[in-house]
Amino acid sequence: MIVDLRSDTVTKPTPQMLDAMFSANVGDDVYEEDESVNALERKAAAMFGMDDALFCPSGTMTNQIAIKCHTAPMDEVICDESSHIYRYETGGIAFNSGASVKLLYGDRGRLTAEMIEKVINPDDVCMPHSKLIVLENTCNRGGGSYYDLDEIESIYHLARLKNCNLHLDGARLFNALVETGDSMERYGHFFDTISICLSKGLGAPVGSVLLGDIKTIRQARRIRKVFGGGMRQAGFLAAAGSYALDHHIDRLKTDHLHARLLGETLEKLSYADKVLPVDTNIVIVKLQDDVNADVYVERMRDNGILCSRFGEQLVRFVTHLDITPEMIDHTITVCKKLH
């Protein structure tokens, strides 16, 4: 048995999802004539009470388009040091938007209005213009931590007061929502744009959606084209996304249960120094100093368990749609065996 816990991006479409894909009505989406893409965009926007949406090939693209929509060169983006937009988008903020970045060090990736307020620049020709605040929810490097919506509301009021735009990298937003039960409309109200990944825990093969108002999404559509992301009969992929929104949200709770079981096991093992609190579907374990993380990942692989080295002494496990209870039991057995 191979248990792939490297990422929740590794899922394959279920037979039902494949049926939905093969029976999709498609057209040319650059002409905005693909019914399945249009339906996905309408559905996602409506869920969050937002005006419009744009289907894109990746979450990197939806984030980068949003940053470009909200900033001009010489502006500054405020985000956490561990955030995907800063760490894992190949320096795209500078490359695509010519903007600088102000890094904050939040609590497991989470920022507060108080922290942000301190770094918003005054109107001074020597300083970049603080223009965009980006939050990530859930926070990947925070071990799947999620925000309290009251804090987001405070950040929203600060952003309005300071004339900053507010973008949410919600690659795993639904993992937060199934835990908190927070209202999607309130999220839609607080953020100027929201990026949602369909290809993570939701289990679609490809795609992300950017949500925003009509004007922003109109501009986002132009930017998607110049980034080379205008797709043609993309409805086959969008149909998988719509299927995922209809059928794969509630079941994320199962992934969270699996992650918690794994976290509870690792916590008790002598080679683990500590395990970050397991809030959603990500388990990050810090190994004892005398355990080599590369060797640990290799030994796990030799036992059929795939996980990722995630920095100095850190290893990450991510649960998802294709992980069964039997696979979690097997993983727990292997973890205990490796002493």
**For the chain, where are the E strands, in sequence order?**
3-4, 52-56, 75-80, 100-104, 129-136, 165-170, 193-197, 208-212, 272-275, 282-287, 305-306, 308-309, 314-318
Q: Which of 34, 169, 182, 255 binds ligand PLP (CB under 6 A)?
A: 169
Q: Which stretch binds ligand PLP (CB under 6 A): 12-20, 52-60, 217-225, 321-329?
A: 52-60
Comparing CB distances to ligand PLP, the nearer of 56 and 159 is 56
Number of residues in contact with ligand PLP under rule CB under 6 A: 13
Largest CA distance in the chain: 61
Comparing CB distances to ligand PLP, the nearer of 63 and 165 is 63
69-88 residues in contact with ligand PLP (CB under 6 A) are 84
For position 142 contacting ligand PLP by CB under 6 A, the verdict is no
For position 140 contacting ligand PLP by CB under 6 A, the verdict is yes
Structure tokens at 117: 């307020």
Name residue 229's beta-bridge partners: none
Task: Please give the radius of gyration of the chain, using alpha carbons only, rounded to the nearest integer.
Answer: 20
DSSP secondary structure string for all residues of 22-73:
HT-----GGGT--HHHHHHHHHHHHHTT-SEEEEES-HHHHHHHHHHHH--T
Label residue 14 exposed, middle or buried (CB < 10 Å: 0-12, 13-18, 19+).
Answer: middle
DSSP summary character for residue 40: H
Comparing CB distances to ligand PLP, the nearer of 144 and 188 is 144
Structure tokens at 306: 């795939």
Comparing CB distances to ligand PLP, the nearer of 198 and 297 is 198
DSSP summary character for residue 120: P
193-232 residues in contact with ligand PLP (CB under 6 A) are 197, 199-200, 208
Comparing CB distances to ligand PLP, the nearer of 44 and 335 is 44
Q: State the nearest-atom distance from the C-beta of 74 to ligand PLP, in Å.
A: 25
Comparing CB distances to ligand PLP, the nearer of 58 and 112 is 58
Q: Which stretch binds ligand PLP (CB under 6 A): 29-37, 57-65, 175-183, 228-236?
A: 57-65
Contacting residues toward ligand PLP, per CB under 6 A: 58-60, 63, 84, 136, 140, 169, 171, 197, 199-200, 208
